[in-house]
Amino acid sequence: MRREANTFSIIGRCPRTGQLGVGVASAVPAVGSMCPFVRSRVGAASTQSWVNPYLALTALAELENGAGATDASSTALAGDEAGAFRQFGLVDRSGASAAHTGTECTPWAGQILGMGVAIVGNMLTGPEVLGAMAAAFDDSKSEDLAERLMLALEAGNAAGGDKRGKQSAALRVHADEVYALMDIRVDEHAEPISELRRVMRIARAQLLPFIAGMPKRGNLAEPARLRSRKCCCARPRIDRKAAGAGAKKENEEETMNELEMLVEALGIELENERRSAVLAAFLPMAQEIAKLRSLDLTDVHPAVVFSPLPASLQE
C-alpha cells in the first residue's frame, strides 16, 4: 500500500563547513524514516507526497557519479511513472538545488529553490509556510546547519504548516563521515517540532561530544576520548522542567559532573584542592546556563543554545 506523506521539508548545505542536511515535519508518524536522505559530501534529498524513496537514492547515486543536482533529479524522475504524484527536493555538494512538485500533489503544494537550499511542501495551509522557512534559513547564516534547519522548521510551523495537523518531525545532518553528525527524530507527538527542539538541545550537550570522539574516516580507530567515555557512562540527562523542584540536588550534582568533564576535555591540570575551588567558583555560572537551556521561549523568541564548549566542539 502506498502512503501519502503530506509534508514540508528543507534541504540545505552549509557553505562554511560543507555539511548537508534535511529538516522535515509531517502529519504522519515517523517521517524521518521515509523522507530524508543524506550522503556525506555528495548531497541531501527529501522525497514526499506519495513517497518514493528510490527517487532520493537514485538521485544521490547520480550525484556521487558526478552529475549535478538538476541532471540527477531529472534522471531519478525519468524512471518514475507516477511523477505527477511525487514531490522531491535535492541539494548537491556544490550547493546547487533542484526540486519537483507533481501536478497531482495535494494543494497547497509548491517549492522554493536557492543556492544551498531547496524547500518543498504539499497539503499546506498556503505558500506562506515555505516563504517563512526560506526567510528563517536566509536570516540565520551565522548559525550552524542544524540550527538553521531547525529554525526553518519552527518558522514553517508558526506560519501554518501541514493543514491536517502535526505528528512527527526529524532533522539529519552529515559532515565528513559516512555516518550522521546529527540524526534526531520525534515519531509521534502533539507538538513534534517543539519536541524536536528539546531533543536537539539534549543532543548538543550529550550526543555531539560523544560523536566527536568516534572513529573518523581514513584514520585508525583509537580509544575513545575521555569526554566521550564520560558522556557514555553518565546517567541520561533529565528534563529539568518535567522533573520539578525535587530534583534540584541531583541537577547540581549533574552540573558539577559536566564541569568536571569540561575541565578534563580542555586538559586543565589542577591540584585537587585548587580543582575543587575552581569548579565551585564556576558552579553558579553553569547552573545559570543550565537554567537558560531549559527555558522554552519558542513562542516569543527563537531558541538559543547556551554552551560553555568552544564552537569547534559544537559543530
Secondary structure element (H or E) that encloses residue 88, with its range: strand 86-92
Structure-block grid coordinates of residue 48: 514526499
pLDDT at 163: 66
Pairwise pLDDT comparison (309 vs 293), residue with the higher score: 293
Cβ 157 vs Cβ 191: under 8 Å: no
The C-alpha angle 116, 119, 173, rounded to 5 degrees, equals 60
| pLDDT, position 105 | 95
Q: What is the Cα–Cα distance from 25 to 11, expressed in whole angstroms?
A: 12
The predicted-structure confidence for 107-121, as pLDDT tens digits, reads as follows 999 999 999 999 999
Is a pLDDT exceeding 50 seen at residue 198?
A: yes
pLDDT for the residue 240? 47
Whole-number mean pLDDT of the chain? 83
Neighbours of 222 (CB within 10 A): 9
Q: Does domain 4-190 have CATH number 3.60.20.10?
A: yes
What pLDDT does residue 209 have?
A: 87
> Percentage of the chain with pLDDT > 70?
68
Per-residue pLDDT, 23: 98
pTM: 0.73
pLDDT of the residue at 122: 95
What is the pLDDT, as a whole number, of residue 161? 76
What pLDDT is attached to residue 171?
98
Domain boundaries, the chain: 4-190, 223-298+305-314
pLDDT-derived band of residue 31, with 50, 70 and 90 as boundaries? very high
Cis amide leading into 50 (omega within 30)? no
Q: Amino acid identity of 229?
A: R
pLDDT attached to residue 242: 47
What is the per-residue pLDDT across 49-97, written as a single tens digit (0 to 9) for each?
A: 999 999 999 999 999 999 999 999 999 999 999 999 999 999 999 999 9
pLDDT of residue 28 exceeding 70, the answer is yes
